Structure formats: structure tokens, C-alpha cells
Homo-oligomer: A and B are copies of this chain.
Amino acid sequence: MFIEKLKSLLGSELVSASESELYRHSKDESFHQPVEPDIICFPESTDDVVKIMQVANEFNVSVTPYGAGSGLEGQAIPVNKGITINFERMNKVIDFSPEDLTITIQPGITRSELNEVSNRQGLIFPIDPGADATIGGMVATNASGTTAVRYGSMRDQVLDLEIVLASGKVIRTGTKAKKSSSGYHLSGLFTGSEGTLGIITGISLRLHGIPEHTIAARCTFDTLSACAEAAQTILQCGIQVLRMELVDDKSIAAVNAYGNYDIPVAHSLFFEFAGTKVGVEEEAKLAEEVMRELGCNNWEDASTSKERSQLWTARHEIAYAYRHVKGVAVTGADVCVPISKLPEMVDYARLLIEESGLNGGILGHVGDGNFHTLVSFNPTIPSEQTKAEYTNEALTFRAIELGGTCTGEHGVGLGKRKFQEAEHGAAIEVMKDIKQLLDPSNLLNPGKIFY
């Protein structure tokens, strides 16, 4: 059967069906129901992946790619069982061209590993989703995070992908040129397709110069919508931020308790400005003036690395402050709306959480109009889960009504399938046709994006 075939083709050291590996590959960071694969393969090359696809075709078995398991919508959960491909042995740099600000890597390299290599040449890969995800996983979900307001999302960084198609054929989707008007934009199509159209085995990315100087800052406002309006004003003034994050008072309280911080418990904006020293100081000063004019409290800034890290560390720990509580599950929305709709949306989010009676907070990348709710519930009490889910659904359908999207950066996976029809309408049929075209036997990460 297919497990034997995989062992004979790849060698038994590249496959595992041990209990601990099956468990590890049954889940991600989300609350979605775990499912164990039948077997996990650890390919070392594109050729190995081609062999896996050949076996998958021969035995009609599902294939689910797995990066670091840090996904938030169940993309790595093999709902139809079958073969999981773990890319941890495909984590090499293939070609690094600092003079072109580009690098070609295998998909299993993590964000921090990529930055270690890049930093040595004065370059960074700036996309920062928080987790130390693999780059393959980040391409698959079109991840972004706190720096998207400056650098865009993963799709904006991808120059070229090597893809193993469902048929086992290998294609390249782009070139190493910075721009192109040749052929159809397959790089954009495969980025964000969550392993449902093909398997990513190579990635060429843009890199960026490390900014010369950075200033961090934080301030608070009396209401959540005042924070959102202030963020909008920053953008309208053309002030260049590297990061601009909204965090509500509940989340500040949660992270104060979790990390023993002492941050003013109020609705807050966190900033980072980066560029040349003169330019950054000008931006930060201008931002402070604008914020004070809008009535902010507690403006605090820092330009030394240690102070900066103090100002920001808490922000990075908020998700943990919610997620890592024993006996508690967390669900959350990932809406992104036109920036002018942000004030009413954050107020609506707060209202929904209040009405649910559950503990929850709001935080997000407000420079993009993208924010999350984090709602904690006891998974053994069905009514709590129902209420938590309701806050997501009401908020997300409202975001779609206002011209926004159900997912700004986490991807669709299992949890956002229910919003696809409302968001995409008739375009869903085109998407399903493309899926059918490229994966006629539905072998590639089945059950994701579409029902």
C-alpha cells in the first residue's frame, strides 16, 4: 500500500508514522479539531516531493503540507488523513544575491533563520506575523503582520515560486526580475492558495535594507474608536510608520498580568518609525504632535534598542497572554476593512464581546485596517463556544458588508470557509474551477478554502 511505496521510494528514514509524529502533525495553533495523517514524509528535495505526488496519484491519497504548525485556521490539519509533508529538511538557502536584494530558499526555512542569513549582509526579510513560521507556510497563507503597513504582505515579496503540481510536474511561476508583464501572474495565484493548487518547493523573495535608525512609541486614548481615528489621521498625514498597532485596555490588562508588566491600562496605539536618523526623528515628532492634538494620554517614546524592546515586548506577548491559559480555548476574527470603517468596526467588536459575556480583547494592524479579536471560552461548555463563534461571525459579516475581507492575513483554512460565498460571490465558481483544473482528483490539501 502507499505507506510501503513511500518508504521504498524515499527511504524509511524520510517517513514516519510514530505516535508522537502523528500527534504533532494533527493540529496547528487553532482550536480546530485535530486529525492525524496516516504518514508523515520529510522530503529533502523537490524530487522527493515529486515522488510523493506520484504515490498520492497512484493510490489516490490526500497530501497536506506542514510548515511550523503555527497556522491559525487549520490549514495544516489533514482532514482527509493521508500524507502530510513536513518541510523541516528542506530549509536550505539555494541562492543568495545581496547585490540584487533577493534570495532563493527552500520552503522549510523559518523566518528567524532567513533573517539570520540576511542580517549578515545588512538586509532583512521584514514580514513579521509574530510566530516563527516557515517561509513556505507564510507564502501559502499570504501572511503579513505588524510591518505590512510598510512592506505589504507575502505576495508583495514573492518573485518566483517552484511548484510541484498535482500531476507531479514542476513549474516555476516567475523570474528573478523585480517586475514583469509576461504571461499570467501565477506567483500571485499560488501565493495564498494554502497548498490547494500545488506544493511550494522553492521561493525567490525580495529582501530589504536594514533601516539605519528606529524609534518606538506608545500612547493611549480614552476610547477605542479614538485610537482608530488617530491611526487614520497618521495615514492621511502621510507619516511613514514601520508598525502601528492598536491594543485595547482588556488586552493590556491581560498582558500586564501574564508578563508582569506595568503598562497603563487604556486603549493604546503602539508605533515604530524606521529610516534615516533625521527622517525618523521628524516622523516621530510629527506623529507625537498629531496624537497630542487629538488628545492622547501617556505618550512615551524610545530610540535605544533596550527601551524600544521594552515598549514593544508586551505587544508581541498578547496572543500568548490569551492562548496560554489552561483549560481555555481562543477564537478570533481577522477582519480587514477600509480604514475609514475602522472606528465603527472596533466599537462593534467591543460591543459583541461585551454581549457574549466572555473574556476577550481587540488588537491589530490598524495601519492596514486589519484587526483581530481574541475571545476566550471553555471548550467543554458548548454554549460558550457558540457565543464565541457568534462574535466572529457577526463581526466578519459586517466587515464584508463594509467592503472588507474575512481574513486579512491568517488565510481561510477551515475556519473562514463559511464567509467565502458572502465575500466572493460569483467569483467563488471561478476559484473552484481553477482548483478543479489544477487538482482534478482533489488530492491537494482537501477541505481547505472551500467546503
| Complex partner residue of A186 from B337, B430, B449, CB under 8 angstroms | B430
Q: Find chain B residues with CB under 8 A from A368 CB.
A: 177-179
| Complex partner residue of A425 from B97, B172, B339, CB under 8 angstroms | B172
* Most B CB within 10 A of own CB, among A187, A282, A409: A282
| Complex partner residue of A279 from B279, B339, B406, CB under 8 angstroms | B279
Distance in Å: Cβ of A233 to nearest Cβ of chain B: 10
Q: Find chain B residues with CB under 8 A from A235 CB.
A: 101
Distance in Å: Cβ of A60 to nearest Cβ of chain B: 22
| Complex partner residue of A181 from B183, B283, B340, B408, CB under 8 angstroms | B408
Cα–Cα distance between A336 and B368 once the two chains are bound (Å): 30
Stretch in contact with the other chain, from A14-22, A35-43, A147-155, A243-251 = A147-155
Contact between B179 and A153 (Cβ–Cβ < 8 Å)? Answer: yes
| Complex partner residue of A423 from B97, B182, B276, CB under 8 angstroms | B182
Stretch in contact with the other chain, from A163-171, A302-310, A379-387 = A163-171
Q: Find chain B residues with CB under 8 A from A412 CB.
A: 181-183
Contact between B431 and A437 (Cβ–Cβ < 8 Å)? Answer: no
Cα–Cα distance between A412 and B437 once the two chains are bound (Å): 24
Cα–Cα distance between A179 and B368 once the two chains are bound (Å): 7
Contact between A408 and B99 (Cβ–Cβ < 8 Å)? Answer: no
Distance in Å: Cβ of A121 to nearest Cβ of chain B: 10
Q: Find chain B residues with CB under 8 A from A171 CB.
A: 425-427, 430
- Chain A 249-289 per-residue mask, 1 if CB under 8 angstroms from chain B, else 0: 00000000000000000000000000110110011000000
Cα–Cα distance between A404 and B181 once the two chains are bound (Å): 11
Q: Find chain B residues with CB under 8 A from A143 CB.
A: 181
Cα–Cα distance between A196 and B410 once the two chains are bound (Å): 32
Does A411 have its Cβ within 8 Å of any Cβ on chain B?
yes
User: Which residues of chain A from 391 to 417 have any CB-CB distance to chain B below 8 Å in the complex?
Assistant: 399-400, 403-412, 416
Does A70 have its Cβ within 8 Å of any Cβ on chain B?
no
Does A8 have its Cβ within 8 Å of any Cβ on chain B?
no
Contact between A370 and B179 (Cβ–Cβ < 8 Å)? Answer: yes
Contact between A192 and B186 (Cβ–Cβ < 8 Å)? Answer: no
Q: Find chain B residues with CB under 8 A from A187 CB.
A: 188
Does A445 have its Cβ within 8 Å of any Cβ on chain B?
no
Distance in Å: Cβ of A101 to nearest Cβ of chain B: 7
Contact between A403 and B176 (Cβ–Cβ < 8 Å)? Answer: yes
Contact between A405 and B188 (Cβ–Cβ < 8 Å)? Answer: no
Q: Find chain B residues with CB under 8 A from A186 CB.
A: 427, 430-431
Contact between A340 and B97 (Cβ–Cβ < 8 Å)? Answer: yes
Does A451 have its Cβ within 8 Å of any Cβ on chain B?
no
Contact between A426 and B169 (Cβ–Cβ < 8 Å)? Answer: yes
Whether A181 contacts B142 in the complex (CB less than 8 A), given A175-B423, A278-B279, A339-B100, comes out as yes
Chain B residue at smallest Cβ distance from A178: B368
| Complex partner residue of A338 from B177, B189, B278, CB under 8 angstroms | B177
Does A156 have its Cβ within 8 Å of any Cβ on chain B?
yes
Contact between B99 and A179 (Cβ–Cβ < 8 Å)? Answer: no
User: Which residues of chain A from 407 to 447 have any CB-CB distance to chain B below 8 Å in the complex?
Assistant: 407-412, 416, 419-420, 423-431, 433-435, 437-438
Q: Find chain B residues with CB under 8 A from A419 CB.
A: 182
Cα–Cα distance between A369 and B180 once the two chains are bound (Å): 11
Cα–Cα distance between A100 and B142 once the two chains are bound (Å): 22
Contact between B182 and A424 (Cβ–Cβ < 8 Å)? Answer: yes
Q: Find chain B residues with CB under 8 A from A334 CB.
A: 181
Cα–Cα distance between A412 and B183 once the two chains are bound (Å): 7
Contact between A100 and B430 (Cβ–Cβ < 8 Å)? Answer: no
Chain B residue at smallest Cβ distance from A281: B278
Contact between B430 and A438 (Cβ–Cβ < 8 Å)? Answer: yes
Does A34 have its Cβ within 8 Å of any Cβ on chain B?
no
Q: Find chain B residues with CB under 8 A from A180 CB.
A: 142, 336, 405, 407-408
Chain A residues near B (Cβ < 8 Å): 97, 99-102, 141-144, 148, 152-153, 155-156, 165, 169-173, 175-189, 191-193, 197, 209, 211-212, 232, 235-236, 238, 275-276, 278-279, 282-283, 334, 336-340, 368-370, 399-400, 403-412, 416, 419-420, 423-431, 433-435, 437-438, 449
15 A-B contact pairs sorted by A residue (CB < 8 Å): A165-B430, A169-B429, A171-B427, A175-B400, A175-B423, A177-B336, A177-B337, A177-B405, A181-B192, A181-B334, A184-B193, A186-B427, A188-B189, A189-B189, A276-B283
